[in-house]
Amino acid sequence: MTTVMNDLIYLSIADAGAEIEARRLSPVDLTKATLDRIEATDDRLNSYVLVMRESALAEAEAAAARARAQSRLGPLDGIPMGIKDIYDTAGAVTTNGTGAHRFRVPIADCTPVARLRAAGAVIVGKTNTHELAMGGTTNNVHYGPTHNPWMLDRIPGGSSGGSGSALATGQAMGALGTDTGGSIRGPASYCGISGIKPTYGLSSRAGVAALSHTLDHTGPMARSALDCALILNALQGYDPLDLDSADHPTEDFTAGIDGGVRGMTLAVIPSMTAFATPDVRAALEASVATFEALGARVTTIEPLAGIDDYRGMVQCIASVEANDYNEAIVNQDPPTIGAAVRARLAVGQATPAYLYARALDARKMLERRMERALADNGIDAYLVPTTPVTAFPIDPDADRDETPAPARNGAMGVFNVSRQPSMSIPNGFDSEGLPTGLLISGRQWTDAKVLRIAHAFQQATDFHTKRPPLFA
């Protein structure tokens, strides 16, 4: 790949949009470079299960015509994006990562994709996912494993692993993921990119395959906090088709993003660092020092004192609700679902109603505690490692639960329970050269502040600009 093409595919959304606006860059050239990058690299990565070359080039031509007419639809107009394969796309196969839906073709776009198209984004393809979004590796028994671009024998995280891998290697400039217990933020951490799980109800889920209506979030993934903010601007807004969509005022998430962190108070949660490896812990400590140098005060707080079972709470709620959504497939055609995911669904089927009800009540209590800890102590955001470990090896047998115990002890799921905005950004590397992630989480509806904190860190560091050596 030429240097010029390599520079194109690693442009930020903000910079690419500015170049298109100034008519120094054609959306067609940008899209062709992205599609060529997918063709050149995806045999090693398996980020995509479907590449939509013909429609993407047509969308790019339309974006180019708008740019020539000085009538662009906004900063995403002409920007190549990947879509996790649980988001319905009109006329394009959406498998939900399962064999049961191998030939399923939706007749309409889901709301998030419709909003991206309305903003002029170019959809280049559907990214691989863990089956039914029900796992943390993207080791898909039907469509093959996605590989981590930093080390090909490692997982990219899940369930939005295809989106994470694609972004790290220039196969897209932005992407959509979903997050029930960390499925945006885990791949962001393992692949060295950025991703935000917004406040619950901010971004519509209508037309997106459900795993858990209590915990599911849709949200953006990109290579920087600023680019995530640009995508979230397009995704936000009330949607009557989503029963949990919040009728909340929209805002420009980029408006105050350059405000810095001076005068803010940030807090580390000690219990959420307990299982971190020495390299992950060192990256967190260095991140704390960076924030202090930028003028923030960093303290500690323990809002989860006495609560040891929040991970079990997430698993209980998600398995029961996932079984409900997929009951027809499980009962009528079980072989079309892999054995490992069938086993997780069976747990939900066997869970007594009283345990599920208790988990729902406990979720509300934890949400209240996580919110009050920030408000009562004047804290702007929590800081914890996104994942306690870096990317671990891909299990050769995709049809079993291959996640090692240390990786299950992360903090991400608590912020699905609390429904607070939670963002992962790259903050270092371990001794093997694998990325580490920093999780920044704030009070509900402070998504703009979380993005601002992340952006301040990225203005002071260069971890988010690093490229996997194999693909640089």
Which positions are annotated as active-site residues? 84, 159, 183
C-alpha closest to that of 411 among 234, 273, 318, 265: 273
d(CA 61, CA 56): 9
369: tokens are 């505690």
CA distances from 308 to 271, 303, 312, 358, 373 (A): 10, 12, 9, 15, 17
Largest interatomic CA distance in the chain = 61
C-alpha closest to that of 124 among 149, 99, 89: 89
CA distances from 129 to 84, 142, 323 (A): 7, 10, 18
Q: Identify the three-state secondary structure at position 203.
A: strand
Residue 139, C-beta contacts closer than 8 angstroms, at least 6 positions apart? 130, 145, 146, 155, 158, 394, 395, 398, 402
